[in-house]
Structure 1
Amino acid sequence: MADQSPPLKIVQVLPALNSGGVERGTVELARELVRGGHQSVVISAGGRMVEGLIAEGSEHIEMPVHRKSLMSLFQVRPMRRLLAELKPDIVHVRSRVPAWIVWLAWRGMNPNTRPKLVSTFHGMYSVNFYSAIMARAEHMIAISDCVKKYMRSNYHVPEERITLIPRGLDPAAFNRDACSAQWRAELYAAYPELQGKHIVLMPGRLSRWKGQEAFLDMMACLVSLRQDCHGVVVGDAEPGKQHYFEELLAKRDALGLRDKVTFVGHRSDIPAFYALAAVTCHMSNKEEPFGRTVPESLATGTPVVAFDRGGASESLNAGFPQGLVPADDIVAFAIRVDDFIDGDAEIRLPESYYLSSQLASTLGVYRRLLSGEGAN
């Protein structure tokens, strides 16, 4: 049901718009705000996603709000001037450095006319003075129940100042139709080794805690069970960490998987990969706050196997609990993947994991704040 209240002007602030779950969530919410008739402004240091953000109707303002340095304090006055000029209803911060800049700017504004301040805890931040800025907003959003519990126990945030809102996905993007015949033909032309194989997908940026090493170990187990599968790793290394990619390639070759695992780098067509895959893997080696690859894959009808911990466990329990395996049990993981390649998966992803629900819940937070509820 469409929101019938007056349109709002929302400013979201994050470090940059390159890649990652926070960035994608910001862009998706911005798009949905515009679709709903609201004004959307995003402030960041820029990045590859800016062009798409603007094309979808949001305004982008480039500002160096990304540096983890005391020099960032020089952005406080410019931010205060900018917010006074924009006159938004809500400022929504999504990361710690921008949160410090915005909060220091915001607290120097007239309390009667300044915007309301919201933060989203996208992770279980280290407990220290630097991270505590995320708890200084007037209201906070937790992206999963494990994050909410972390906020309550470590930052002692009152229950009434937290709203649990899972990250939403767009059903128009994440569905079986994402994988067209033309897309498959182009993919197989670039990667002929994938044709005729059951694709076992490992999405996510290349990072030690994301589990790519465990994925390679799992693939070594899986190919000992069957030869008709091929692992595909989607994602690139973080800036300055290209050496990790080289380590992964060396490990792949040492395990004899050169012709069984392909790294395709950063891709903007991840929904098509989900739809192509027989199984998607989530193998983070620590509790992940949410793990958006889980509901995204489930939305396309592709089963997910994941270690039973963190936000990924929550998502799978909600939509496909049979995909959970004991944490760090590589052999059990491979056996479960093998089972799902040949089996029929009954997936039921709740409505709360879709963008329409996220937008309605987030607007609810904004409206309650503006009416005087939900703040300290």
Structure 2
Amino acid sequence: MTRGLRVAIVASSSHPIRQPFAGGLESHVWHLARALERAGHTVTLFAADGSDAEAAAAALPVRTFRPSRQACSDPSMPEREFLGDHHAYLGLMLELAESGADRFDVVHNHSLHYLPVAMAPTLPIPMLSTLHTPPTPWLESAVALTGGAGVDFVAVSGHTAAAWEGVVGRPIRVVPNGVDTDAWPLGPGGEGAVWFGRITEEKGTHLAIEAAERAGTPLRLAGPVSDPGYFRTHVEPRLRPGAVDYVGHLPRAALARVVGTSAVSLVTPDWDEPYGLVVAESLSCGTPVVAFARGGIPEIVDEHSGRLVAPGDVAAMARAIGEASDLPRSRVRARALSACSETAMVATYEDCYRSAVREGTARRLREVSVA
């Protein structure tokens, strides 16, 4: 029997990994950590204080830093959030460089910070880094300086992989984010539509409201208000009981009930969504998706699970709501089971981990023989 691996998962130093989740990345890390534990691996999590203690077997501390009064008065003093993240990740990477080989087999990086990638060559253990976003200046800088040494990159969609391959300079394996299909069960459907996710302008909450109003379909909104100014200006004035309702930032079970009792799920990104976790969660509930065809979303939604419309085409989305709501819900869920299940994701990550460990061992042996 193959022994379980000791996996250090690196997440956000700013957002705790707990319900209700700050965003899709936090949700993904929580589900992955728990799934790896169930599969027989030992997971240690680096994430902000307040993370769910049951998500992993152990935690790596997030080091905090308070600069002196003199340092704070320096004109070059950066924003405190930037400095806090820098200190936390620097401390983590120094700790892994010093003692990581005694404690872990592999590091799995999910953070969007540059230091894990920049300092990966200093680690005595391999790192797998999942690319959750399009290329960013800071991460590009880290790759440019190191050539991506010490890191095996994977991406959450073919779209995201293609965007990064020119930066990394080599093919990137795709590992779609999986969902726990037992936790997002098949629901009976309902009369109205649902939109859920972080309420920000780039997620296009206001476009979902406009599409539902055009279609004459009741709409429920759920998720954290990540941009209060946007919510006050573009969402709150359009709330009307029974027509457009904001049901709050819900824990997973309550959110799954809302999604499962909706006729359709509207997905309205105003940017190229790297993957679209809400799409996979909707499909798992049997709720057809009507979405703007942006980023990685067309890789998930097919003709049996929803409808894709041109980016920003609210009128087309409104027209597609009725057609999508007639799709058989069991067949919609079947798409989630085949294309974006947690089981398939974990199996693929296990293969990535073991490949990284083998390559790391071979690399160290070559270095010893040369020395």
Q: TM-score of the superposition, structure 2-length normalised?
A: 0.80
Change (3 A) 1:151 1:319: farther
Give the Cα–Cα distance (whole angstroms) in 2 for the partners of residues 236 and 72 of structure 1: 22
**1:216 aligned onto 2:204:** no
2:319 maps to what in 1? 335
1:300 maps to what in 2? 285
**1:9 aligned onto 2:6:** yes
Over residues 236-257 of structure 1, what are the superposed CA-to-partner deviations in whole Å (9 max), with x where a residue is unaligned? Answer: 212xx3222211345415xxx4
**1:158 aligned onto 2:170:** yes
Structure 1 residue 340: deviation in Å?
3.1
Change (3 A) 1:197 1:174: closer
2:129 maps to what in 1? 119
| Counterpart selection for 1:81 from 86, 89, 95 | 95
Within-5 A mapping of 1:311-322: 311-317=296-302, 320=305, 322=306
| Corresponding pairs, count | 331
Give the Cα–Cα distance (whole angstroms) in 1 for the partners of residues 301 and 295 of structure 2: 10
AA aligned to 2:243 is K
Give the Cα–Cα distance (whole angstroms) in 2 for the partners of residues 343 and 115 of structure 1: 48
Change (3 A) 1:70 1:250: closer
Over residues 313-348 of structure 1, what are the superposed CA-to-partner deviations in whole Å (9 max), with x where a residue is unaligned? Answer: 11103862x511122111111111123335545424
2:359 maps to what in 1? 372
**1:33 aligned onto 2:36:** yes
Change (3 A) 1:353 1:296: same
Corresponding residue SS for 2:296: helix
**1:236 aligned onto 2:224:** yes
2:45 maps to what in 1? 42
AA aligned to 1:358 is M
Change (3 A) 1:14 1:133: farther
Structure 1 residue 101: deviation in Å?
4.8
Structure 1 residue 35: deviation in Å?
0.8
AA aligned to 2:105 is D
1:149 maps to what in 2? 162
AA aligned to 2:132 is H
Structure 1 residue 352: deviation in Å?
3.9
| Counterpart selection for 1:93 from 92, 109, 128 | 109
Give the Cα–Cα distance (whole angstroms) in 1 for the partners of residues 23 and 174 of structure 2: 20
2:338 maps to what in 1? 351
Runs of at least 5 residues in structure 2 that lack an aligned partner in the other structure: 66-79, 364-371
Give the Cα–Cα distance (whole angstroms) in 1 for the partners of residues 49 and 309 of structure 2: 39
- CA RMSD across the alignment: 2.8
2:199 maps to what in 1? 206
Give the Cα–Cα distance (whole angstroms) in 1 for the partners of residues 45 and 128 of structure 2: 14
Structure 1 residue 132: deviation in Å?
4.0
Give the Cα–Cα distance (whole angstroms) in 2 for the partners of residues 120 and 157 of structure 1: 16
**1:58 aligned onto 2:57:** yes
Corresponding residue SS for 2:224: coil
Change (3 A) 1:371 1:325: same
1:186 maps to what in 2? none
Give me the identity figure in percent. 23
Answer whether contact 1:45 1:65 (CA < 8 A) is retained.
Answer: no
Answer whether contact 1:31 1:58 (CA < 8 A) is retained.
Answer: no
Give the Cα–Cα distance (whole angstroms) in 1 for the partners of residues 346 and 362 of structure 2: 20
Over residues 84-125 of structure 1, what are the superposed CA-to-partner deviations in whole Å (9 max), with x where a residue is unaligned? Answer: 44521111111232x505743x5445xxxx111111100103
AA aligned to 2:108 is H
Corresponding residue SS for 2:32: helix
Answer whether contact 1:252 1:258 (CA < 8 A) is retained.
Answer: no
Change (3 A) 1:91 1:344: closer
Runs of at least 5 residues in structure 1 that lack an aligned partner in the other structure: 180-195, 224-228
Give the Cα–Cα distance (whole angstroms) in 2 for the partners of residues 266 and 42 of structure 1: 24
Answer whether contact 1:201 1:277 (CA < 8 A) is retained.
Answer: yes
Change (3 A) 1:329 1:108: closer
AA aligned to 2:160 is V
